[in-house]
Amino acid sequence: MSAHAEPAIDANFLAEETRRYHHFITLALWLAVITGAEIVVIFLPLPVALILTLLTVMSVGKFFAVVLWFMHLIYDARLLFWLFIAGLGLACATFTALIALFSFDRVDTAWFS
């Protein structure tokens, strides 16, 4: 038996996990700042189209930040990221098609009366 025990955790692993932890804290703070900016934008005297555009851009940015870091996609293989994007694109296309399908009344109801 040796006189000193080997450390249970490698120093490089510990440094990497500490770096990731600080990334998560920094991201959470940025998300809070963006959320505050979204609340401020609502009350600014701006045109409605500009408000909606700003809110959409900020929301999409927050969505991808959460997906990439909190779902750990940024650390996974690129294939998994592109599979997620493909599924997201398919879901958006399905949603858009359904909205378009049910947004028009194609039934002629004149003969009911």
102 or 110, higher pLDDT: 102
Mean pLDDT of the chain: 87
Show the beta-strand stretches assigned E in the chain: none
CA atoms of 75 and 23, how far apart (whole Å): 12
Q: Helix 48-65 to helix 11-43 angle, to the nearest 10 degrees?
A: 170
- Range of weakest confidence among 23-27, 57-61, 78-82, 102-106: 102-106
Confidence at residue 73, expressed as pLDDT on a 0 to 100 scale: 79
Kindly report, residue by residue over 29-73, the tens digit of the pLDDT.
999 999 999 999 999 999 999 999 999 999 999 998 888 888 877
Task: Out of 2-16, 67-81, 86-100, give the one with best mean pLDDT.
Answer: 86-100
Of the chain, the percentage scoring pLDDT greater than 90 comes to 50
Given a cut of 60, whether residue 1 has pLDDT beyond it is no
CA atoms of 98 and 93, how far apart (whole Å): 9
Using the 8-state DSSP alphabet, how is residue 110 labeled? G
